[in-house]
Structure 1
Amino acid sequence: MAVLPILEFEEKIVETVDENPVVVIIGETGSGKSTQLSQILHRRGYTRSGMIAITQPRRVAAVSVARRVALELGVQLGEEVGYAIRFEDRTSYRTCIKLLCYGTLRYLTDGCLLRESLSNPELEQYSVIILDEAHERSLNTDILLGLMKRLVKTRSSNLKVLITSATLDGVKVSRFFSGCSILNVPGTLFPVEKLYSTERTTNYVKSSLRTALDIHVREPPGDVLIFMTGQDDIDKMVSKLEERIQNLEEGSCMDAIVLPLHGSLPPEMQVRVFSPAPPNCRRFIVATNIAETSLTVDGVVYVIDCGYVKQRQYNPSTGMYSLDIVQISRVQANQRAGRAGRTRPGKCYRLYPASVYQEEFLDATVPEIQRSSLAGSVLYLKSLDLPDIDILKFDFLDPPSRESLEDALRQLYLIDAIDENGQITHIGRTMAELPLEPSLSRTLIEANELGCLSQALTVAAILSAEITIRPTRSKAKERKRKQPFSNLPDGSGWGDHIQLLQIYESWDQADYDLNWCMDNDLQIRSMKFCKDVRKQLSQIIQKIAKGPVDVQSSLKYKKGEKDYQKLRRALCRGYGNQLAERMLHHNGYHTLGYRSQLVQVHPSSVLEADEDGQLPDYVVYHELINTSRPFMRNVCAVEMSWVLPMLKKLEKMDTNRLSGGAGVSKVCEPMKEKLMNSSTKEANDSKKPDSVDSKIRAARERYLARKAKK
């Protein structure tokens, strides 16, 4: 195996780390920083006083790099080298002994390290913390940067912090850490020829397909890495490329295999991309931006860059996420091109003109902390119980907007995670210990009080796994034409959370038979993953609960309104900030008033309207996302009597007090208006309706008029 460039700098790295508490290491693509830096420090004795933690912003990277390092050290994964990601910790009792006696290398996601710091704020088990791939500027990594800045000053025992990246602005980070040292490690990049399109493509999937086939037919051997925006595009590309390759004239070119690579793939499919191609065979790897820097795939000579990436963005003024396909930055484009020069000179086919790269691409990607909901991060900071932390003045490398922080504080206050003075509550501390978003954590706590924790655990497991267990729409339509649809439950009219519970309950009653999943067009892997997540959540909540909890795996109970009332009430308490009102059905969609606008319930929802087309006055939702239009996804009906206590909390809300800082009182009017409008309507119907009321009333009248003509 070739000597990686970073090994030539071993003495300089160790000398710099010995002399400085914080070091920024800029290692070019191919330098070996992710796999070798931890081993260098391990050889030089840093694991004698504690573990070395290496964080990764992506779960796939944490697992794959840990596997590689364990292989290089000749140890079993989970012993000297292990990994920890959400809902999976590859360690054992034997590992813990080795951690204490001999030290270990531990790869983990940045989120896992944050959760570990809750029980041990000084992270005393670690002698070195390496924040790898920091240029991706994930939300958790940015929080960790702020915490590491505090920790190196306050921890009683010695701590070394290394921030590593291929493209990070090292001067900016050094300035943030009071002028810490910067090391630059070159990589072994061969020259890469960049080939631009003459015009902007209108369909990057078709353009990528055409380019891939041209490479396969005309270019010498070498693997091809194709960047797509997401799983849907990857699936299309893999299917079309396999079909077109099979239709090529036999003997006209070498064999080929097509492999997908994205975060939702099971581990056994992810590792296939790290195995070399068979003789006289070319590999096509179709990947998301996970392959830009987080993972290195050897053998790539050709890169096809579509110029786009799928990005989630949160608008705190509307509480809405959008999942947008946006242009990449110049940093990302250069990272993608660099993947073609690892083993020999390569080519990067950019499916956009050079003028677009120069004039339209941003210099660097917008940090996630500036385009995400911050409720979970603010809850974490509050739970650290540091008296001098003012959330609105916390030391971030790139601060989020004040509006985003205020939005997070409001969310936490409404679900009882913090009190009116911004102090974390007992409920908030329990929420912070659960590896869930705040709404689901609060739901579980309320469910335990109401005696429906077992059911709430199921719903939380399904939603936190970030997968859907409903049949696909295409399969549903196909089956509808041929035969009656499957016997999947319908949510009893109360909505999607109840249906998710009922589906899992049906599987439980079928003794978790995998054939039952197949018969109902449900993904076996997804269902099994939900079951595993539920089991782990059950173990976590039993560990942290002070009183008795009921987390039985069996879900036997009767169907009906009363059986779901407690669960719906728990959901209302958990989703207190995610409330919408005044709904009806018109023009084929469920439509509702939300923050002075009309938003529609996603067409896949099972929430039912009454015979007049009127839906419940109040619902809670899991996610508000703007795709083709604003949609609420995973919606559940709730009662007015459950909503009123939350409305009362809005009467005196001061974001400066919630933050932990002092200042002039500032009542949170936007959020107050959102919910208080509904309270006013209930209390005094004689008041003049607002614009949303008028639109909804007009829509309902049109619906009833059409119904009368039938």
Structure 2
Amino acid sequence: MPSPSPSGPPVLPISEHEDEIVAAVEANPVIVVIGETGSGKSTQLSQILHRRGYTRRGAIAVTQPRRVAAVSVSRRVAQELGVSIGEEVGYAIRFEDRTSEKTKIKYLTDGVLLRESLSNPELKQYSVIILDEAHERSLNTDILLGLMKRLIKHRASDLKVLITSATLDGLKVSNFFSGCPVLNIPGTIFPVEKFYSTDRPTNYIESSLRTAIDIHVKEAPGDVLIFMTGKDDIDKMVSKLEERIQNLEEGSCMDALVLPLHGSLPPEQQVRVFSPAPPNCRRFIVATNVAETSLTVDGVVFVVDCGYVKQRQYNPSTGMYSLDVVEISRVQADQRAGRAGRTRPGKCYRLYPSSIYQKEFLEATIPEIQRTSLAGSVLYLKSLNLPDIDILKFDFLDPPSRESLEDALRQLYLIDAIDESGQITDVGRLMAELPLDPSLSRTLIEANELGCLSQALTVAAVLSAEITLRQTRNKDMEGKRKRQELSDGSGWGDHVQLLQIFESWDQADYDPRWCSEHDLQVRGMKFSKDVRNQLSQIIQKIAKVQQICKQGEDGRVTLTTEN
């Protein structure tokens, strides 16, 4: 095992329960660990099991529902063990793999672990699988819970599964896994004083802004964590907060540093959030709900909670998604407040009345599996070719509606992924090989038939990288104008315009300065280029398989590739 860094791993509450945890793991194939925020479960569990020899016969996989958490937590563990990321400790997220043959502790998104099980259903490379942050009830985690229940029967002698959470109903999960033990690990939580608004503000950004400035001017030192619903709100809040702070009378309060925190933030900016504040300086961290439980930011004493979250909702009757700003649950509100009590007594400013918290907020967040399209998940389960899995009877912790499952089957049938009897088709198997939404996978296959695979690869890559056509700097109208001059395809919709923008960047030899001049995010454009290369490699691999299959029939290969 690598020697720890000079400072060594921090002493966290979970460390005091090491012997109890190891004894439970040794005696049971599955255990549930309920660890309060700040208990150290995400960073220390894997290290405890590594120290106790569980990596001798396989790696430890730790799933995270969010990419940003998988990356940041793995970096933290690598730092504590004194190793470089990608060696003994690594991470894997969609379109990015920082692991090697030496990797013993691997942090990965739940979606990546699902994809790994396509090629290796028994997941033999792992001796321990930890499903972390299970309380978030992401779609992929819920599917993994069902698959782990099945897998334990096949690998009872050489696999350990741990389900960890801050707030999960431990008894419910224990019953799901035939009465497995539940360990409760307390966290170091100081008292948090909660302040409620008298009514709901008409503009939660402005209300959050006023509250943050009041804290800065009147309160003692301590960082402030402000919850917003998404990147757009965060960008507005960061800009307005910096402006207000600059306009404060010089010398009236300490210095301030305003930092965003969201899933699409570049790694070098994420690191700044986890570094201590400079002397005599208060940090304002403006974050999405990624900061509720997935990531812990030390030094936070004050929390500003707008009471909202951005949530994807799917309507199976229309087949359409909507991205809605909805009220948080009481569990989420309590998680947000708890962030103020990590290091000393704190304060939480709730921008809603206590009556709304008590009477309008749901007790817990609705699981994603009950509010999303299941087409991709059903295609994945079909592609496993496991005879004992019946899609309509699959063992879910909270089953989705029959309407949602039937909608998924109907969608897959319409794009030729399954046949009339519900069996996966050859086209469906090709689609399952691609780490994309089924409709995008089908688009690439159809584009190949029509001779425009190259263009379709570009569009799929840019959509996967979540490139937007909005300007990133409000005052830079020149960049916006230049970008509009790039193409004449705006009348054909965003997809054609995105294609033309990427092709113009290609003609500019992928120069980062070109992106800046046209007000496009350099990191996002580079990521789309990497994604396109990876998708092209996957397509080429599939083409080779197809060639082997087709040669025995008519000598022709229908799937070709373009760079």
Q: Shorter-chain TM-score: what band?
A: over 0.9
Partner in structure 2 of residue 226 of structure 1: 226
Counterpart in 2 of 1:443? 443
Selected match of 1:80 from 81, 88, 91: 88
User: For 2:356, what is the secondary structure of its paired residue?
Assistant: helix
Tell me if the contact between 1:475 and 1:521 (Cα under 8 Å) persists in the aligned partners.
no
Match of 1:201 in 2: 201
**Structure 1 partner of 2:27:** 19
**1: distance between equivalents of 2:175 and 2:13?**
27
Q: Helix, strand or coil: the match of 1:540?
A: helix
Question: Retained in 2: the 8 A contact 1:469–1:523?
Answer: no
Secondary structure of 2:23's match?
Answer: helix
Tell me which of 34, 49, 57 is aligned to 1:41.
49
In the alignment, what sits opposite 1:500?
Answer: 498
Corresponding residue for residue 361 of structure 2: 361
Deviation at 1:483, TM superposition (A): 7.6
| Corresponding residue number in structure 2 for 1:487 | 485
User: Quick one: distance in 2 between partners of 1:485 and 1:50?
Assistant: 50
In structure 2, how many angstroms separate the alpha carbons of the residues matched to 1:495 and 1:256?
A: 42
Give the secondary-structure state (helix, strand or coil) at the position aligned to 1:147: helix
Query: Shift in Å at residue 535 of structure 1?
Result: 1.0
Cα shift at 1:301: 0.5
Following superposition of structure 1 onto structure 2, how do residues 253-332 of structure 1 map, counting pairs within 5 Å? 253-332=253-332
Contact 2:472 2:521 in 1 (8 A): no
Is the Cα contact below 8 Å between 1:124 and 1:157 reproduced in 2?
A: no
Q: TM-score, normalised by structure 2?
A: 0.93
Q: Classify 1:163/1:15 alpha carbon distance in 2 versus 1 (closer, same or farther; 3 Å).
A: same
- Which of 78, 84, 97 is the aligned partner of 1:70? 78
CA displacement at 1:485 relative to structure 2? 7.5
Deviation at 1:486, TM superposition (A): 4.2
Range moving further from structure 2, 13-22 or 540-549:
540-549
Show CA shifts across 1:348-368 (max 9, x none): 111111111111111000000
RMSD: 2.0
Q: Which amino acid aligns with 1:520?
A: H
1:56-205 → structure 2 map (5 Å cutoff)? 56-91=64-99, 95-96=100-101, 98-99=102-103, 104-155=104-155, 157-205=157-205
Q: Deviations over 1:563-596 (max 9, x none)?
A: xxxxxxxxxxxxxxxxxxxxxxxxxxxxxxxxxx
> What SS does the corresponding residue of 2:55 show, helix, strand or coil?
helix
CA–CA distance in structure 2, aligned partners of residues 431 and 483 of structure 1: 38
- Cα distance, 1:422 vs. partner? 0.9
Deviations 1:201-255 (A, max 9, x none): 2211111111111111111110000001111111111111111111111111110
**Alignment partner, residue 539 of structure 1:** 537
What are the superposed Cα offsets for residues 485-529 of structure 1, whole Å, 9 maximum, x if unpaired?
843223386544333222222222222233333343333222212
| Residues 265-322 of structure 1: CA deviation (Å, up to 9, x unaligned) | 1111111100000000000000000000000000001111111111110000011111
- 1:529 counterpart = 2:527: yes
Q: Which amino acid aligns with 1:89?
A: D
Number of equivalences: 543
Q: Which has the larger radius of gyration?
A: 1
1:464 Cα deviation after fit: 1.7
Q: Quick one: distance in 1 between partners of 2:311 and 2:482? A: 38
Q: 1:215 to 1:472 in 2, by over 3 A?
A: closer
Counterpart residue identity of residue 217, structure 1: V
Aligned to 1:512: 510
Superposed counterparts of 1:238-637, under 5 Å: 238-469=238-469, 478=477, 486-491=484-489, 494-545=492-543, 546=545, 547=547, 551-553=561-563
5+ residue gaps in structure 2? 1-6, 548-556
Q: 1:483 to 1:328 in 2, by over 3 A?
A: closer
Letter of the aligned partner of 1:345 in structure 2? Answer: P
Q: Structure 2 CA distance, aligned partners of 1:34 and 1:162?
A: 11
Q: Secondary structure at the match of 1:15?
A: helix
SS at match of 1:46: coil
Greater RCO (CA < 8 Å, at least 6 residues apart): 2
Partners of 2:18 and 2:327 in 1: CA distance: 38
Paired residues of 2:311 and 2:323 also in contact (CA < 8 A): yes
Q: TM-score, normalised by structure 1?
A: 0.74
Contact kept in structure 1, 2:482 and 2:518, CA below 8 Å:
no
What amino acid is aligned across from residue 20 of structure 2 in structure 1? K
Unaligned runs of 5+ residues in structure 1 are 554-710
- Identical columns (%): 82
